[in-house]
Amino acid sequence: MVRACRALDRANQLADLVELRLDYLSRPKLAELRPRVKKPLIVTNRLSQEGGKFKGNEEERIGFLKSALELKASFIDVELASPPQYVDELLRNRNRVKIILSFHNFKKTSSFKELQSLLDQMIELHADVAKIVTLARSWLDNLTILNLILYARARNQKIVAFCLGEKGKISRLLSPLMGSEWTYVAWAGNKKVAPGQWSLRELQEIWRRLI
């Protein structure tokens, strides 16, 4: 908890949004952490098959997300693959909290048609934000994801989408310029938590030169 508090204090100084990964905490005390966040807060308790580290069962995992609703987080990220009854409950009780329906594939980037189908499901469920993240096994996979952002914009759906891995770094850089709501960075070079992630300083420097 002490390390989490320090990280949140640092993120408050640097970030536009702060994501709190509850599955990285052995004993998450959301009620204590929530007041420390001074920026819009995304609360995530990642599903194990999509890279999460939470050790409890699904009811316990979703229970933390329900608590985040009560504590008025800005966003709650719940996987589309979560049990439908839990997804439906979070969507029905969202009030002013925005729900991110997410999908992560750490093995590959599927075809545009398959990803389009996933996005259509998120749209049908009235996700406030759709999030689709896949591993780039080739440079062309970045184009698939960037085209998905354009499709979402045409459907008036807010989206966060990019590729993981070294071959996906370009999509992390370009996706906000194409219409993605945001991208994820590490606040320091030695704090990266996902393959291909930029540090805040790296991305700021590149954007400064591009824009």
Tell me, yes or no, whether 114 and 165 share the same domain: yes
Q: Other CB atoms closer than 10 Å to residue 146's CB: what's the count?
A: 20
Tell me, yes or no, whether 30 and 64 share the same domain: yes
Looking at residue 79, which CATH number applies to its domain?
Answer: 3.20.20.70
DSSP 27: S
- Per-residue pLDDT band for 24 (boundaries 50, 70, 90) equals confident
Tell me, yes or no, whether 110 and 211 share the same domain: yes
How do residues 42-75 score in pLDDT, each as one tens digit?
999 998 889 888 888 999 999 999 999 999 999 9
Residue 8: what pLDDT?
73
Tell me, yes or no, whether 68 and 112 share the same domain: no
Residue 51: what pLDDT?
87
Q: How many helices (H) and strands (E) does the chain have?
A: 8, 6
Tell me, yes or no, whether 146 and 91 share the same domain: no
How do residues 156-185 score in pLDDT, each as one tens digit?
999 999 999 999 999 999 999 999 999 998
Tell me, yes or no, whether 94 and 158 share the same domain: no
Tell me, yes or no, whether 137 and 68 share the same domain: no
- Per-residue pLDDT band for 32 (boundaries 50, 70, 90) equals confident
Residue 22 has pLDDT above 60, yes or no: yes
User: Residue 113 contacts by C-beta under 8 Å, 6 or more apart in sequence?
Assistant: none
- Of the candidates 82, 98, 114, which is a domain's last residue? 98
* Residue positions counted in the chain: 211
Bridge partners (DSSP) listed for residue 199: 186
Residue 102 has pLDDT above 90, yes or no: yes
Q: How many domains does the chain have?
A: 2
Nearest-angstrom CA–CA distance, 168 and 125 = 28
- Calculate mean pLDDT across residues 119-133: 98
pTM of the predicted structure, to 2 decimals: 0.91
Per the structure, the complete domain to which residue 211 belongs is given by 106-211
Terminal CA-to-CA distance of the chain, rounded, Å? Answer: 38
- Per-residue pLDDT band for 194 (boundaries 50, 70, 90) equals confident
The answer to whether the CB of 121 falls within 8 A of the CB of 80 is: yes
Tell me, yes or no, whether 68 and 145 share the same domain: no
The answer to whether the CB of 129 falls within 8 A of the CB of 98 is: yes
Nearest-angstrom CA–CA distance, 203 and 211 = 12
- Of the candidates 98, 129, 148, which is a domain's last residue? 98
Token match 């996005």: residue?
119
Residue 191 has pLDDT above 60, yes or no: no
Tell me, yes or no, whether 72 and 110 share the same domain: no
- Of the candidates 54, 69, 98, which is a domain's last residue? 98
Bridge partners (DSSP) listed for residue 42: 19, 75
Residues identified as active-site: 104, 131
Residue 175: what pLDDT?
95
Tell me, yes or no, whether 124 and 144 share the same domain: yes
Tell me, yes or no, whether 92 and 113 share the same domain: no
Tell me, yes or no, whether 26 and 93 share the same domain: yes
